[in-house]
Structure 1
């Protein structure tokens, strides 16, 4: 049985990843901040016993190390760094930027996925697929930015993209691949109700890209349809 570890699974894209991978017969290591408040995830785990729920606060790197130690016997085929925060609000404009919040957004969106990859490298190296996935955003593209705004979110995703591009090179010699994936504009709490893409459609597309991975894809910035995006 193949194994996937997914972060940020209490709702939206993360929850849908758990659903689809469990339906496909995978073992799912589902990580979220507050499992006791994740009722949809708990219901999914009851229906699919191959889903195990693990408490993880991504901003606490000690917890990441502790979870990696607790799961030391696991071989992980695919690590999906899905969790993220937006941070930006109406007040986050030049002259009124909350730098403490910006630091936290960077920690969750950019640093934590790298820390997860580092902590779980031994597990991934033992897996059959040996693949790290970063769920990013086209909003992290500097080439696509024509509207400005969202400085915290944009900069954190740009940093994530750069870090994962480097990791794709650094880990290539170990046979570990890295995918940098944009899920589209998705109907989630972050994406809003006007988004054109459902979580089910987005995740189905992301899984097709993941399933079709080859080493030549490592380090490329792709959307959920497999199209290459501008940096």
Structure 2
């Protein structure tokens, strides 16, 4: 049964119910922290319970942050996560599909692609978003905003590709972009709004360890992402891959 207090909040326009995958650290954590500070209710997909940042944040926001065990690479995990959220709220206004992996592997040399890792990257980066939308869709249908946000990458742009390596990651993001395009074609006529976003080079753990040399710190990257996701000046009938600096990428 949905908690009555949470159910009432679903109709409060100033407070939105937001689900974020990959919220443990990096951009996902930064967005979670900033959205909570703005007064929203956040359901944070937690992949690494041993990582303590989300637990510490929960102590600061006990009534508006809900930790949800989640592995977007698993059908069973995503289904269980959706059931957990459905027991907490009657609606979701915004889905932010953020979870992703780099999948760098030193076994890749020249034309060789290490297949097992490639399948893992594709499963998480592309199919992970599809799982989230499918299983959270009933809650999104009940929400007022009907907004779907996807963290992609300029690495997924085919026409603007400049790389001669990183096959796995680039292919997975190109697949994600195609998924979002088809989803847009299906759901935009029903009032859904879409954001497809390249967050830039962030000082995060995307490659498995902290990258101190990247351009953006977590706070700035989260602020820029949230600004775009909640912008009211977007042409909702046009799907564009936008970059953190406003650049438009073809895909």
| TM above 0.5 | yes
Secondary structure, aligned partner of 2:189:
helix
Is the contact made by 1:209 and 1:226 (CA closer than 8 Å) also made in structure 2?
no
Is the contact made by 1:68 and 1:119 (CA closer than 8 Å) also made in structure 2?
yes
How far is 1:126 from its partner? 1.4
The range that moved more, 127-136 or 67-76, is 67-76
Which residue number corresponds to residue 41 of structure 1? 54
Stretches of structure 2 that go unaligned for 5 or more consecutive residues are 1-14
Does 1:112 find its partner at 2:132? no
Deviations along 1:118-166, one digit per CA (max 9) or x if unpaired, are 1111111211211111101111112222231110000000100111011
Which residue number corresponds to residue 247 of structure 2? 227
In structure 1, distance between residues paired with 2:91 and 2:239: 22
In structure 1, distance between residues paired with 2:168 and 2:154: 14
Deviations along 1:25-70, one digit per CA (max 9) or x if unpaired, are 00010012122x1211111111112111111111111221122123
In structure 2, distance between residues paired with 1:46 and 1:119: 28
How far is 1:215 from its partner? 5.2
If the length of structure 2 is used for normalisation, what is the TM-score?
Answer: 0.86
Does 1:9 find its partner at 2:23? yes
Does 1:63 find its partner at 2:77? yes
Is the contact made by 2:72 and 2:124 (CA closer than 8 Å) also made in structure 1?
yes
Which residue number corresponds to residue 210 of structure 1? 229
Deviations along 1:51-93, one digit per CA (max 9) or x if unpaired, are 1111111111122112212322431111011000111223213
Secondary structure, aligned partner of 2:249:
coil
Runs (4+) of structure 1 moved beyond 3 Å?
Answer: none
Larger radius of gyration: 2
Which residue number corresponds to residue 174 of structure 1? 190
Could you tell me which of 29, 40, 43 is aligned with 1:29?
A: 43
Which residue number corresponds to residue 195 of structure 1? 214
In structure 2, distance between residues paired with 1:99 and 1:62: 23
In structure 1, distance between residues paired with 2:55 and 2:238: 33
If the length of structure 1 is used for normalisation, what is the TM-score?
Answer: 0.94
